[in-house]
Structure formats: C-alpha cells, structure tokens
Structure 1
Amino acid sequence: MTETAPSIPDRDAVRDALVSWYEDDHRSFPWRETDDPYAILVSEVMSQQTQLGRVVTAWEAFLDRWPTPEDLAAADRSDVVGFWSSHSLGYNNRAKYLHEAANQVIDEYDGTFPETPDELQNLQGVGPYTANAVASFAFNNGNAVVDTNVKRVLYRAFDVPDDDSVFEEVASDVMPDGASRVWNNAIMELGGVACEKTPSCDTAGCPWREWCHAYETGDFTAPDVPTQPKFEGSRRQMRGRVVSLLKEYDELPLSKLGPRVRIDYGGQYGEKWLRELCSDLEGDGLVKLEEREEWVARLRR
C-alpha cells in the first residue's frame, strides 16, 4: 500500500525559519567553508560512520598531505590506506575508492569534477547520498538530502509516514529551488543539534516548533527511535492534549480544560497540577495563562 505524503503547512515560513536559524548560528566545520568538490568529497567519505569531531583533524591532515585530486591520484595507494587506518576512519576500502575516484577525475574528466548527482555517481565508491552531498555543497546543484537524521526530522515535524519514497517526496517538496547548499546543510544541522534521538527542542531553539507534530503531541518517536515507554498518561502526552484542545477552543477556563485533558481530573491531578503544566507551556511560548474570575489558558498566536 502506497503511503500518502502530508502537505507542509506554511511552506514559505517553514523554509525561512530553518534557513534563518541555520545562518544565525551553526556548528563550524572546515568543509562548510569551502566549495571545493575534492575537499567536500573527502569530508563526506570520512564522515561515513565516523564522529565529526574526529573527522576534522583527519580531514585537515589528509588535505595537507594530498591537497588536490592530482596529488592523491599520484600517491601510492598503500600510503593512502595506511593514513586511513592510522586515523581510525573505518573500512579501508573507502580509502581505496577515494584514491580510485581521484584517478578517474584526472583520467576521465581532465581534472575537473563532474557537477551533477548522476555524473558524480560514476566515481568509484560514490553512491547516491555522497554524490548528492557533493553536488549540493560544492555546486549548489543537488537534490534534497534524505539521510537518517533528515528522516527523523520530517517524521517528527510533519508526521511523514515511515516510507522512503514519501520521505524523498516531502524532502524535495519542502526544499527551496536552487538552494540545495544551504538547505541540506540546515536540515542536517537541525537533525544533528535539535532533533537528535533525544530532542533538544527548546534548548536548541528549534525553528520548527510552531509546526512540529511531535512538539505538539509530546511523542518523539521516529524511525530510528524506539517507541518511548510510558507515554500513556505521561506529562508529554498531557502537554500535547492541552495544546490540541486550545487549538480547538482557543481559550478555556482551567475548570473546563482539566476534565478534557484527564478523565480523572481532580485531587493530585487537579488545578494546581494543570496550572503547573500550563506554566511549562507558557515558558515555551505556546500558552498564555491569565487570572480573571478564574484561571484561563489560551493559545498564543
């Protein structure tokens, strides 16, 4: 059965919010400061299943030793493999493939890197993801990147079903035309610092909280995140119910909101509990508490 892609609400606002968030502040990696396809290819191959903090030192040392594809192609393959092994960069066949790819660039492309994802896949060891990353970051000529982190972001934010073809459809739909360089960097940054397996929505200032299904409901499961235990009856679930109810009613006195949030409203889960819950949401900028004849909660717009 084919899954249906959800529509993205306020798509232009969603795009602007993410790009602004990324451009205001993001992790600094040296390969983000260049559009050299060779340097970017080296970073992408090194980053496969290797922590980025460890990659920085290895990447800089590699480029010091072999600063151009010509230098790498002329190197002895055993030296390249030895470098790879000594820096604990994972499977040594990646070093062999990188060496072969450099030779292809020299011999088959006259020293000039191909610029499209399809052409880049002709290079040894370069699969669809790496080809698209190089096309995006070197030439601003890529498609939407869809890796594990991006799937997690889309699944949580827009309730995208766990289906590879639907992830690709939604990722392509939300990415602005002609902006693959900044967009793919931004959405991967979002998955890396705000929407990790354990999310840091408020701490990282996630720019998509306003639209995020997971943030609204408190359910932060994802394709690579097992179902969270004890969600039923949890504070996360109750927060989600408060926001959902206020979206429906706009505002409610706590005496009417409480029984709609919990069937057992009262006692330890009475007004004091509900006011604390709403205060948390007020701190997140989602709800406003007002003291009138009785306490009233309303949704911030």
Structure 2
Amino acid sequence: MSERLPELAADADPDAVREALVSWYEADHRAFPWRRTDDPYRILVSEVMSQQTQLSRVEQAYADFLDRWPAVDDLAAADRGDVVAFWSDHSLGYNNRAKYLHEAAGQVVSEYDGEFPESPDELQELMGVGPYTANAVASFAFNAGDAVVDTNVKRVLHRAFGVPDDDAAFEEAATFLMPEGESRVWNNAVMELGGVACGGTPRCDEAGCPWRRWCHAYETGDFTAPDVPEQPSFEGSRRQFRGRVVGTLGEHDALALSELGPRVRVDYGGDTGEEWLRGLLSDLADDGLVELAERDGETVATLRR
C-alpha cells in the first residue's frame, strides 16, 4: 500500500483527513438503534432489513422484530412462516430475505454453537450473507472488517478526492483511508458522510462536511458522481456565494460586512442580509479561508493569504 492516495491533494495529511471525519462523526450522528449495539445478531437483522428499504421504515420494523425474536436462538426456533409473514406485514421487500435470515440464525445455533463467526469470509458462509453484509457485521459487531465500499462511499470518494469510477480504484482508496483496526467507527463515519452531507444533492455547509477543505467537488462546484450523472444546480447555491465572497475579498484588503454584502449579491438584505452573510463567513472562517475582526464598531472580513 502506498503512503499516499494518488488523488489526495498534495497538501493533505492523510491522518488529518482521517481524524477530521472521525471527529465529525463522533460529535454528532444519526442515532440509529443498531449503532448502539455490537451484538452481531442485531446488526445482521438491521443490515438485512436495510437492503433496498428506507431507514425510516426499518427503525420500527427492527424494534418490532427484536421484541418478537430478541436473540439468535429465538429466531432459529421460530416458525419460518411467521418470520416471512412479519416481513410482508412490515413491507420490508423481498420475502426471500426473511427466509435467508431465519436459515442463517439456524446455522449460527447448529453449526457455531450460537456464537457468530467474526471474519467477513466466515460470515459469508451464512445463508443470504453476501460480501457487503458480511463485512458490515464484521465491522460493526467485531471491529474486524474491511473498508466498506457502497454507493454512498463511492460518491464521497469520487467527489472529495477524484477517485475514478472504477471498482478497484474505489477499493484501493477506501482501504488506504481506513485507519487500521478501526473498521467500526470508520465505516459508520464514511457512510454517515455520504448519507447526510454528500447525497445526490450535497449539503456541504449545512452538514459541516469535515472534508470541505480538501474536496475537489467543493472547490470546483462540480458535484457529479457515479450515481449522480447530472450536475446539481449551482446558480444561486451557497457554493456560488461562497465563491463570490472569496473572489470579492481577493480584490480588496478588507471589507466591512455592509460593503461586502451588496458586492456578493444584488438582493442583499432581509432574509439574505447580514445574518445570512455572517453564516457564510463563519463557514469560510472555520475552513481557514477568511478572518473576521471588529474595527470601529463594524465586523470586517479579510481573505487569509
């Protein structure tokens, strides 16, 4: 493995990139119940339910399923028809997944004495458990997985670091970036980034994306990705106005907000007045691009050189 991801900016320290993401995730993330457990049975249930099903629907179904079959031996002893009926009643998609989950529980009880195997390769021996699900269970239950590479992760890596749309390239990049022995927190963090900040329509500033300072897409405004073939609107976007702030300050030594605002947008005022501008400048200051100071009773913005 090389010491640097080829696509990573020359001035980007890989350790800083890793720390920024993990810190962002640990500070605030969606509190799904399966993120509060390392029980492999519960994690397997959540992963199977989440396949092609909206997470908002999964949460209630997950709670109901575990109320009925709280442990792997309970599910193994259940009637398969009851499990399939539950799956159908909760609109969880393909009923074969219910059959496979039931059979996998039986395997754990009969072939592994009720203890889940821990490695991705061993977990794939369970019925219906493919490479992605096996790796997720190994990561989140045992902290023993590889780097997850799903659609969200591909989108993030393509946008942030220009990783080409190639499975081998994505695999290499994801493996390079994941801290050794930290698959649980890392895979949760990078999937959270793709889910809340770097979706089809990016929410870079709103979600406080920790990779903005290194991100190719954020710098260029081109947020296309393998699963997002059309460029999201740039005209009138927060990214556009960030660029205008930086461009305007680049032409002046310093500007008070009352001078900067009208130069950034012609309709400056009201909902897009000083409060809006301060929010924009706060994000830019957090990214190390702008400095703010109080002079003669006014806030003055200066571009960091």
Where 1:284 maps in the other structure, the secondary structure is helix
Cα distance in 2 between the residues matched to 1:232 and 1:61? 45
Cα distance in 2 between the residues matched to 1:222 and 1:240? 21
Alignment length, in residue pairs? 274
Aligned 8 A contact 1:194 1:206 in 2: yes
Query: Equivalent residues in 2 for 1:278-297 (5 A)?
Result: 282-285=281-284, 286-287=289-290
Q: Which amino acid aligns with 1:272?
A: R
Structure 1 residue 281: Cα displacement? 6.3
Aligned 8 A contact 1:216 1:239 in 2: no
Aligned 8 A contact 2:73 2:109 in 1: yes
Cα distance in 2 between the residues matched to 1:51 and 1:233? 30
**2:291 matched to 1:300?**
no
Q: Identify the residue that residue 178 of structure 1 maps to in structure 2.
A: 181
**2:94 matched to 1:91?**
yes
**2:14 matched to 1:6?**
no
**2:273 matched to 1:272?**
no
**2:38 matched to 1:35?**
yes
Q: Identify the residue that residue 199 of structure 2 maps to in structure 1.
A: 196
Structure 1 residue 71: Cα displacement? 1.1
Structure 1 residue 234: Cα displacement? 9.1
Structure 2 residue runs of 5 or longer lacking an equivalent are 254-261, 269-276, 294-300
What whole-Å deviation, never above 9, does each CA across 1:98-133 have from its counterpart, x for those lacking one? 011011111111111000011101111111110000
Q: Identify the residue that residue 135 of structure 2 maps to in structure 1.
A: 132
Q: Which amino acid aligns with 1:284?
A: D
Query: Equivalent residues in 2 for 1:122-271 (5 A)?
Result: 122-228=125-231, 252-253=250-251
Aligned 8 A contact 1:81 1:95 in 2: yes
Cα distance in 1 between the residues matched to 2:27 and 2:233? 37
Structure 1 residue 37: Cα displacement? 0.2
Structure 1 residue 55: Cα displacement? 0.7
Q: Percent identity over the alignment?
A: 73
TM-score normalised according to structure 2 size: 0.80
What whole-Å deviation, never above 9, does each CA across 1:234-277 have from its counterpart, x for those lacking one? 9957966986x99xxxx84359xxxxxxxxxxxxxxx935999x
Cα distance in 1 between the residues matched to 2:46 and 2:233? 40
Structure 1 residue 84: Cα displacement? 0.2
Q: CA separation of 1:200/1:54 partners in 2, compared to 1, >3 Å: closer, same or farther?
A: same
| Aligned Cα root-mean-square deviation (Å) | 3.1
**2:64 matched to 1:61?**
yes
